[in-house]
Amino acid sequence: MANSVRGLIEGAAYGSRLGLTEDSVGIPDQSREPAESWDLGETKPNVEALERGVPGLYLSCFDMLLTEEATWLVKVSEGSSALQAAPMLRMEPREEPEQCPVIDSQEQGLSPGLEVQEEERSLEQVQSMVVGEVLKDIETACKLLNITPDPIEWNTSNVQKWLLWTEHLYRLPHAGKAFQDLTGKDLCAMSEEEFHQRSPQCGDTLHAHLDIWKSAAWMKERCSMGDTKTTVGDELWSEADSSCSGQPIHLWQFLRELLLKPHNYGRCIRWLNKDKGIFKIEDSAHVARLWGLRKNRPAMNYDKLSRSIRQYYKKGIIRKPDVSQRLVYQFVHPV
DNA sequence: CATTAGGAGAACA
DNA sequence: TGTTCTCCTAATG
């Protein structure tokens, strides 16, 4: 089933120059909330879909498609031989990336009527949308975990972070120990069977997920080859890379990062007065979980996080505002 | 009850 | 070594 997803991503990589525009990635606001889809507490991973063996539906970005379009999407994913064939293209790169291979092979198969063309157009749009969402989700995870998008580059600590993240996200039993001391390179070299051997409960899921990350990384590389014109994907990645540099992050920096992305994290932390640097933690448990993920501290909670914030009092980094309110703090030096 | 405050020591890079 | 993590007691609303 991972192949279907992989095919979808890789197949769309070619269409991305045309298809993966801001417009096509533009999805109604309610359905493109990375914080929501990656949220540990509130997300509803489609485990049922996973168990049914529905390709791709375990991706969080598919949540929005589940309602009306799910059946259609499943049909497309399973029925299209082009999607299965797409990974083959990896071996023989095309000269004209603008031509979507999926469309090509379908046109050869049947003589397309108007409705079929219509359907193909929709398929293309869905593909672009899905790929865009996958990239965005991966980008979000990278920033949060402070890891690179390409699993090959992960060290053992990065691998553990990714495992913890994926396990939380899909409510999997903790299997980090089974993959201890493995680098991203090791992980990428492992077959599905090896994953299953190490973790019979969730090895398959983890392998499938890693496959998506690998495909996305491959696609990114693919897109960045050739011309220098940046695609949406590239912008996402480079943005992700920029935050992956430097020393271990400080808590106050992390909080600021969250505050700077109200679209993603506005539900758990937000400014009360940005000019004065006053902010409120709306969901203490959630923020603590995010911090724990970032620092690879599964046992993090608000009690400990707030203790760390209090250490900032005497350092003059964060203080309580003049009128003290619960869960409200203030940066001593606002931006 | 969750939050706040701060002491103390361990853990970590 | 500085920062954070962890655990703790006590106070507050």
Task: Indicate yes or no: strand C within 7 A of the C-beta of A305.
Answer: yes
Query: Of all nucleotides in the shown strands, which has a C1' nearest the CA of A247?
Result: B13
CB proximity A252–strand C (7 Å threshold):
yes
**pLDDT of A80 higher than 70:** no
Between A159 and A49, name the one with better pLDDT: A159
- Rounded Cα gap, residues A220 and A131, in angstroms: 11
Nearest-nucleotide field for A294 (CA, C1'):
C4
Q: Mean of the per-residue pLDDT values for chain A?
A: 68
Rg (C-alpha) for chain A, rounded Å, is 21
pLDDT digits (tens, 9 = 90+) for A273-296: 999 999 999 999 999 999 998 998
Considering only CA atoms, which of A139, A199, A137, A193 is closest in space to residue A167?
A199
Dihedral (C-alpha) A94, A99, A105, A108: value to the nearest 10 degrees? Answer: -110
Beta strands (DSSP E) in chain A are 269-273, 278-281, 318-319, 328-331
CA of A301 to C1' of B12 (A): 18
Nucleotide closest in space to A251 (CA vs C1'): C4
Query: Tell me: the pLDDT tens digits for A311-322?
Result: 999 999 999 999
Segment among A1-10, A114-123, A246-255, A323-332 with least mean pLDDT: A1-10
Q: Is the CB of A304 under 7 A from strand C?
A: yes
What is d(CA A193, CA A3) in angstroms, rounded to the nearest whole number?
Answer: 15
Between A296 and A230, residue with greater pLDDT: A296
Find how far residue A228's CA is from the centre of its chain: 25
Indicate yes or no: strand C within 7 A of the C-beta of A291: yes
| Chain B positions with a protein C-beta closer than 7 Å | 2-8, 13
Report the pLDDT value the prediction gives residue A6, as an integer from 0 to 100: 52
Q: Are A39 and A169 in contact (CB under 8 A)?
A: no
The answer to whether A256 CB sits below 7 Å from nucleic acid chain C is no
pTM value > 0.85: no
Query: Confidence band (pLDDT; 50, 70, 90) for A26?
Result: very low
Residue–nucleotide distance: A297 CA to B8 C1' (Å)? 21
Sorting pLDDT into bands at 50, 70 and 90, what band is A215?
confident
Query: Which of A31, A242, A267 has its CA nearest to residue A137?
Result: A31
Report in angstroms the alpha-carbon separations of A211 from A1, A24, A53, A135, A186: 10, 24, 16, 13, 13
Question: Distance between CA atoms of A129 and A123, rounded to whole angstroms?
Answer: 10
What value does the mean pLDDT take over residues A257-274?
Answer: 91
Output the CA torsion A8→A13→A15→A16 (10° steps).
120
Instruction: Provide DSSP, A25-81.
Output: H---GGG--HHHHH-TTT----HHHHHHT-TTTTSGGGGGGTTTTHHHHHHHHHH-H
